[in-house]
Chain A
Amino acid sequence: MKRSAPYLFLTPAIVLFTLFLAVPIGYTVYLAMLRTKVSGLGLGKGSRREVFVGFDNFAAALADAELWNGWLRVLGYGTLVLVVMLGLALLFALLLDSARVRLAQISRIAIFLPYAVPGVAATLLWGFLYLPSLSPIREILDIDFLGATTVTYSMANVAVWGGVGFNMLVLYTTLRAIPRDLYEAARLDGASEFQIALRVKIPILTPAIILTTVFSIIATIQVFTEPTTLRPLTNTISSTWSPLMKVYRDAFVTGDLYSAAATSIVIAAISLVLSFGFLRVVRNRAFGEG
């Protein structure tokens, strides 16, 4: 009994993990190794069967220039989002935490609120603001928000608008957990508010900043909602603008589940490399590990 107890406690977690994570991933890998083979016209019963093709789909996914173009576009978009969003989140968190700010509570809610707006709704809302003949902004500024280059900024803007609040809240709660004595000590040593922020708060915040960065990297790699929702409104977003959009297109528009499965595994692998790579680079600084 004593020996089996740990396994008993582990069972629910293992069962859930197997059912909802391991099996689907395994099934995806399995699908990624198949392809439809049609004989003749491909009409009627039995003219279509699944054949095993090994790693052919992976090779095709890796060799697809459109997928890598998608990665490049997402890289540009992601860098923009990460820098602006986390920069603003940090700035707002520090401002709210400093004692001088009035109306802190209202500001905090106001900054956080866009996070509660679903991505599709937020993108539609901004989409209307971008459209030339509907937008009140366009009456003042003559910028084509949905042009070939501007559209990336326009999409980044939606992501930043929606994401700052959440990241700000993570950083802000960490800041509130820092004992106030530290600041007092710094002040006694003659540090200004700015110096306290730079030399005391930000170093203590580093693990939280890294956490939000990893989350944000993963979220931007998976960008899908913004471009998909904006796509009907403009000629500048293709059906394969981001890697995940290509997966969706392959699976549900052109009906090739197998390529889609292979591409999604490639995307998962790249996400893993990027997130863990980032963690590795910053590990020493963040956690003082050798």
Chain B
Amino acid sequence: MRANRFGAALAVALTATLASCGSGEPTPQSTEAAQSPTAAAQGPVKLVYWTWAPNMDKIVDVWNKAHPDIQVTVSKQAGGDDAAAKYLTASKAGNPPDLVQAEYQHLPSFIAADAVADLKAETASIKAEFSDGLWNLVTLGTEGVYGIPQDSGPMMLFYRKDLFDKYGIAVPKTWQEYADAARTVRKKDSKAYLGTFSSKDPGAFTGLAQQAGAQWWSISGEQWKVNIADEPTKKVAGYWDGLVKEGAIDDMPFFTPEWNKALNDGKLLSWPSAVWAPGVLSTNAPKAKGKWAIAPLPQWNAGENFSGFWGGSSVAVSAKTPNKAAAAQFATWLNTDPAALDLLVKEAAIYPAATKAQSALGEAPEYFSNQPDFWQQAAGVGAGARGFTFGPNVGVTYNAFKDAFDKALQNKSPFTDAIQTMQDTTVADMRKSGFQIAS
């Protein structure tokens, strides 16, 4: 990192020197600037865009070349909950970026903090590009439009095809079959597990609860309804609780060095994850390339085809930007223009939110070269994925998930208690702030 920064500084210094050397002759750039007098008079609009999608700078370069009057700079973020916290803090401090990658679950917090602009007028023409479910995630069912959907994360079951074959396990179609398969794996290899329950990833659990039909938040009139401890959620929690307690599945968190190792060594045989999982697997478990396959998530009732969402982002425009129109123009291009969507898929390896782009996906991710119908399967799963409106304090809820489930795993207390803690913590926080809550 230090070396990189040094390199960048060196590059800047060198460019400056070279530029001053050549100042006697007109450079190609300066003639171009002269041809576009408006840009020269006011200077181009400069926008800063916070995102953590890989290679976004390359995609933005394409925009910048075509739009000399609107220049976008990518500022790479760490991603996840930290990035949301950082944006809220920056917004409160009065110096947010013009554009920000906003995960769907964090967008309501951004709206509630008055940190993102309403793009209703700017996005009227592109509403039809997205499915109603996704569009609802950026409007929360209100009149406003607070972001433009970029990608979505329908959940699927990723599994080690080679080891399933070796142990004679059929791909589980229901969660009951998944539980049986988990027990089989334990019998065949005492060091291996079919899967693990992560107390650090509320997003994954949310997706599984959505699949079961949970509706954690909803808006009725001028009131919020909070129903985290609803029957579907309790069912999901109770199911995993049983599996963890009997030792049929492991309880190590996702995304740790240890988890990587287990994936790499074939000690974790499946991962209920989202469509973006190939990117994670290819970096974290490179040794297992070509050995994984995908299937729809196991169902609660045989014959159903439901899924949930884990992750997925929109692009939101800061409420404080002086260049709202330009920012909206860029965000629209990025998420609806065919060329941009193509780049998003190829460079950023995301599953685009725009409906037409989803059906145009061709070649499977390299890690899944053994599964040529990867995107067709994903589209099939995505069609059955159901989400819910996220509340204005998801950060509180997700943090409560981590602490409550950490505790439940440690004390071997019921997972349903942890769900109740999430509900109580969320409601208490909303009441403290003065939100109207329907009881």
Binding site for B on A (CB under 8 A): 35-45, 47-48, 128, 131-134, 148, 232-240, 249, 251-257
Contacts and interface: CB of A to CB of B under 8 A. Distances in A.
24 contacts: A36-B433, A36-B434, A38-B392, A39-B436, A40-B436, A41-B222, A41-B223, A42-B434, A43-B140, A44-B118, A45-B114, A131-B257, A133-B262, A134-B261, A148-B410, A232-B200, A233-B257, A239-B399, A253-B399, A254-B393, A254-B396, A254-B399, A255-B393, A255-B396
Contacts of A237: 406
Contacts of B142: 41, 43-44
Contacts of A133: 258, 261-262
A43 B409 contact: no
B67 interface: no
A235 B88 contact: no
B215 interface: no
Contacts of A48: 112-114
Given A40-B436, A254-B395, A255-B85, A235 B144 contact: no
Contact of A42 (B82, B89, B433): B433
B61 interface: no
A196 to B, nearest CB: 46
A257 B434 CA distance: 16
Interface in B401-438: 402-403, 405-407, 409-410, 429, 432-436
B103 interface: no
Task: For the complex of A and B, list the 10 residue pairs with the smallest distance between their C-beta atoms, beginning with the closest.
Answer: A252-B85, A38-B434, A235-B406, A254-B396, A40-B222, A42-B112, A37-B434, A235-B409, A238-B403, A38-B433
B256 A233 contact: yes
Contacts of A128: 257
A25 B261 CA distance: 46
Contacts of B405: 235
B435 A255 contact: no
A128 B261 CA distance: 12
A239 B163 CA distance: 37
Interface string B215-234: 00001001110000000000
Determine chain A's interface SS by DSSP, over half rule.
Answer: loop
A243 B46 CA distance: 41
Contacts of A36: 433-434
B253 interface: yes
B218 to A, nearest CB: 11
Nearest to A249: B399
Contacts of B185: none
Interface SS of chain B? helix
Given A40-B222, A131-B258, A240-B403, 5 more contacts: A38-B392, A42-B433, A132-B258, A232-B200, A237-B406
A40 B405 CA distance: 31
B251 interface: yes
A133 B267 CA distance: 11
B199 interface: yes
B81 interface: yes
B109 interface: yes
Interface string B247-285: 000010101111001100000000000000000000000
A37 B112 CA distance: 11
Contact of A257 (B92, B109, B118, B261): B92
Contact of B410 (A47, A233, A235, A239): A235
B223 A232 contact: no
A59 B199 CA distance: 31
Nearest to B253: A232
A57 to B, nearest CB: 10
Contact of B85 (A37, A148, A253): A253
Given A43-B112, A43-B392, A239 B402 contact: yes
B435 A41 contact: yes
A287 B253 CA distance: 52
Contacts of A252: 82, 85-86, 89
A255 to B, nearest CB: 6
Contacts of B297: none
A284 B405 CA distance: 50
Interface in B366-407: 392-393, 395-396, 399, 402-403, 405-407
A266 to B, nearest CB: 18
B179 interface: no
A66 to B, nearest CB: 9
Contacts of B85: 252-253, 255
Contacts of B99: none
B257 A134 contact: yes
B111 interface: yes
Given A42-B392, A239-B399, A253 B81 contact: yes
Contact of A233 (B222, B223, B258): B258
Nearest to B198: A235
Nearest to A233: B256
Given A42-B392, A233-B258, A255 B109 contact: yes
A38 B222 contact: no
B251 A232 contact: no
A70 to B, nearest CB: 12
Q: Which of A36, A43, A249 has the most CB of B within 10 A?
A: A43
B399 A236 contact: no
A221 B244 CA distance: 36
Contacts of B224: 41
A132 B113 CA distance: 42
